[in-house]
Amino acid sequence: MTPAEQSLKAAEICRLAPVVPVLVIDDLAHARPLAEALIAGGLPALEVTLRTPCALDAIRAMAEVPGGVVGAGTLLTPADVKAAKAAGATFGVSPGATDRLIAACQDEGLPLLPGAATASEIMALLEVGYSVQKFFPAEQAGGAAYLKAIGAPIPQVSFCPTGGISLKIAPDYLGLKNILCVGGSWVAPKEAMAQGDWAAITMLAREASALPRSS
């Protein structure tokens, strides 16, 4: 799967909802009910970060929930890519991009949303074929104002910004023409997960899924 083909698939996934939940799952028992709660609230695209020991098993469990599209976040190495694909991830997300990571996604046929934070990084990924990219860390790297500015000289690239985004500021991003969706963790608070309050998470998901976007 070429980078251009990966970006076409990534765009499809990003257009499923205005927000892609960024999930850190510490307890495997939370995986399936969390996926069910988020999907019920209108957020079908789920990014499970590979930051915990049970992350791959969580992807396996969530991939079985009807209506969901489960991806693996925090891909850093080719080994991460292979493990994520084997666990059932249908897309990958990385904080940055390396030649080895890109090659692994091509070899494994895993659509990648590669991370970029500067104009040069964005241009380098576009040159390879990635027209859909993750902007990370969004708030720390310049926020919505930066993405609005970068859209003038590089209109060919669309973004899913992630990092420090909340419900309050998400509209600042979603109102831009070069933003397909945003990534956020606020829809799955650790407290709600620990308490098993899946109804609260569904409510947060519904609120997020109702956010308007321009693209």
Angle (nearest 5°) at CA 83 between 1 and 201: 95
Q: How many CB atoms lie within 10 A of CB 100?
A: 12
Name the token pair of 45. Answer: 């695209």
Could you confirm whether 148 is annotated as catalytic? no
Could you confirm whether 134 is annotated as catalytic? yes
Q: Which residue among the candidates 9, 36, 47, 85 is catalytic per the annotation?
A: 47
Q: Which residue among the candidates 9, 36, 85, 134 is catalytic per the annotation?
A: 134
> In angstroms, rounded to a whole number, what is the distance separating the alpha carbons of residues 87 and 71?
10
Torsion of CA 174, 204, 190, 23, to 10 degrees: -50
Asked whether the CA dihedral 6, 10, 11, 12 is positive or negative, the reply is positive
The set of catalytic residues is: 47, 134
